[in-house]
């Protein structure tokens, strides 16, 4: 589902910024993590400092490499989940193929970021893709991304081993393994009980000032499933649509299709160019405040695996400013057992939101129809996961299990007429999210500008 909310917020969160000093480099020079020194800056004594790069810059260049490798693999028909087949297709040794596919499919970690193949190995890979007919644009992008990554590693740490230590110190605390184990048991039981499951549930929202009314906010909204499976022949709701005020009452809203192909609302809601099969049958039903978009009954197991993506533009959905403490937010109702939920928010810089939108996991088993924001604090469930900032680029937002995700982001920004570089991006991700819950992400609205 995606549900848009606005309403009062009565709490605030203070964030402390910690800088860790780690000895790095061949001469054990101390660099502060996350801080980029300007190249060739003169000191008071007249000496010039050598250029350095921050861990954040290394991460940004790694995301570019990951996106470029994923694009090349896709362009020659190589599946990053099948290392042996990819090695055979590319004519590469299995070790190199394993590292290439790993940086695409594995979640970001210190080991993955520092384990990008070296310059010569990457050159071999790029040449193999050239021989298989990869586009020149993709080949050039990959070469440039590799060089940028190698430069950032050299300037940040000097070698891969030191980079791995830097990354380990830079990364936040890992997920609670006990919580994840418990949620996985719930996922397995729920899959068996309800007869459905999916690999990924994702939500992507672009929030920006409305061009028709600068005092309002518009949004480009995309949501869907990757690898949805029926374990029994039945229809199943894939998306819920509603807008509520802060006190829980339903509110009207306007929407336009992102990909206006089709006749009825179910067809118009789909982004068929990202669906597989490209024309799933969607039935639209209403229940109370919610509109349900249901995938019709069909084949079970791997025979009926479906990737289904919905998208729309929401016009003037809430005020841009508020004289009182107020928030704008989006929510996703989690009623399908999934292995992973990914919730990305891109908030336009003009909205003045400095931190990633706050994330809450809300109990919808005990409070099934309560959307009053004043109740969210006591409805929230414990979780150790936190939202993380993403580079403001389609390549920087790549997900290892959604190889076409950067293309989707480019498609959406083109349709809404915005540059992705003008947004502040963040991602919340959780393995085996529990049902029945709602995942909420909200940000504070700014006070009205003074005349």
Q: pLDDT for 133-149, tens place per residue?
A: 999 999 999 999 999 99
Question: Taking the complete model, does pTM exceed 0.95, yes or no?
Answer: no
Percent of the chain topping pLDDT 70: 85
d(CA 280, CA 299): 12
- pLDDT value of position 9: 33
**For residues 407-432, average pLDDT:** 95
d(CA 347, CA 358): 12
Quick check: 33 pLDDT over 70?
Answer: no
Per the CB < 8 A criterion, the answer to whether 232 and 195 are in contact is yes
Residue 403: other Cβ atoms inside 10 A: 20
The burial of 161, by beta-carbon neighbours within 10 Å (0-12 exposed, 13-18 middle, 19 or more buried), is given as exposed
**For residues 219-247, average pLDDT:** 90
The burial of 399, by beta-carbon neighbours within 10 Å (0-12 exposed, 13-18 middle, 19 or more buried), is given as buried
Convert the pLDDT of each residue in 153-183 to its tens digit: 888 877 777 777 777 665 544 445 678 888 9
d(CA 336, CA 395): 29
d(CA 63, CA 392): 11
- pLDDT value of position 111: 67
User: What is the layout of strands, in order, in the sheet containing 2-7?
Assistant: 282-287, 290-295, 236-244, 2-7, 327-334, 437-444, 358-363
Counting every residue written for the chain, the total comes to: 451
Convert the pLDDT of each residue in 313-350 to its tens digit: 999 988 899 988 888 899 999 999 999 999 999 999 99
Tokens of 77: 């028909």
């Amino acid at each position: 589902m995606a549900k848009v909310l606005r309403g009062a917020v009565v709490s605030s969160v203070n964030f402390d910024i910690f800088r860790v000093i780690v000895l790095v480099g061949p001469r054990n020079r101390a660099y502060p993590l996350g801080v980029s020194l300007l190249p060739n800056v003169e000191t008071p004594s007249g000496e010039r400092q050598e250029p350095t790069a921050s861990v954040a810059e290394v991460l940004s260049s790694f995301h570019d490499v990951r996106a470029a490798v994923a694009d090349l693999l896709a362009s020659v028909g190589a599946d990053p989940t099948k290392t042996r087949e990819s090695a055979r297709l590319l004519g590469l040794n299995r070790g190199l193929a394993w590292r290439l596919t790993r940086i695409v499919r594995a979640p970001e970690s210190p080991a993955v970021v520092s384990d990008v193949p070296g310059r010569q190995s990457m050159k071999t890979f790029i040449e193999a893709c050239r021989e298989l007919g990869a586009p020149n644009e993709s080949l050039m992008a990959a070469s440039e991304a590799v060089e940028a990554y190698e430069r950032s590693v050299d300037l940040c740490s000097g070698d891969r081993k030191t980079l791995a230590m830097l990354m380990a110190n830079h990364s936040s605390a890992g997920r609670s393994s006990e919580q994840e184990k418990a949620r996985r048991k719930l996922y397995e039981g729920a899959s068996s009980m309800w007869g459905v499951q999916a690999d990924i549930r994702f939500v992507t929202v672009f929030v920006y000032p409305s061009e028709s009314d600068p005092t309002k906010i518009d949004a480009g909204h995309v949501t869907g499933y990757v690898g949805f499976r029926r374990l029994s022949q039945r229809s199943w709701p894939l998306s819920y649509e509603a807008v509520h005020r802060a006190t829980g009452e339903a509110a009207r809203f306007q929407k336009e299709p992102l990909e206006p192909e089709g006749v009825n609302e179910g067809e118009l809601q789909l982004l068929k160019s990202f669906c597989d099969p490209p024309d799933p049958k969607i039935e639209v039903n209403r229940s109370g405040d919610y509109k349900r978009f249901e995938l019709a009954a069909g084949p079970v197991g791997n025979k009926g695996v479906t990737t289904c993506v919905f998208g729309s533009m929401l016009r003037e959905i809430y005020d841009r400013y508020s004289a009182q403490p107020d928030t704008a937010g989006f929510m996703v109702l989690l009623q399908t057992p999934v292995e992973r939920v990914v919730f990305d928010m891109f908030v336009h810089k003009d909205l003045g939101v400095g931190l990633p939108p706050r994330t809450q996991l809300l109990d919808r088993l005990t409070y099934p129809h309560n959307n009053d924001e004043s109740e969210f604090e006591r409805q929230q469930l414990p979780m150790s996961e936190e939202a993380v900032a993403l580079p403001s680029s389609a390549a920087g937002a790549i997900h290892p299990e959604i190889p076409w995700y950067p293309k989707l982001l480019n498609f959406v920004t083109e349709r809404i007429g915005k540059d992705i570089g003008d947004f502040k991006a963040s991602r919340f991700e959780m393995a085996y999210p529990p049902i029945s819950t709602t995942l909420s992400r909200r940000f504070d609205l700014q006070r009205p500008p003074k005349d």
